[in-house]
A = this chain, B = another copy of it.
């Protein structure tokens, strides 16, 4: 199975690089781009066919190894076979 985990800065944490991309969009004429936030993505291959076990494992990994709970949020974007 494969899990996609997204790790993003908490909404109240400033993201200067995302802001720079938003500014660059404006200079290129993409005025509709109101905000850009940059995060991290993890694609995790799991050697299991048990969807529940996979989800439990990924939750543990995300909390322990992938995200800093003080400044970041995480979510499982999807799990696929």
Chain A residues within CB distance 8 Å of chain B: 4, 6-8, 13-21, 23-28, 30-48, 53-54, 57, 60-61, 64-71, 77
Q: Is the CB of A21 within 8 A of B28?
A: no
Are A57 and B41 CB-contacts (below 8 A) given A16-B67, A21-B66?
no
- Cα distance, A39 to B17, chains bound together (Å): 13
B20 touches A33 (CB 8 A): no
What are 13 A-B contacts defined by CB distance under 8 Å? Answer: A4-B77, A6-B41, A13-B68, A16-B65, A16-B67, A21-B65, A30-B57, A32-B46, A33-B47, A36-B45, A39-B40, A39-B43, A77-B77
Task: Tell me the bound Cα distance from A37 to B5 in angstroms.
Answer: 11
Interface contact B20-A34, CB-CB below 8 Å: no
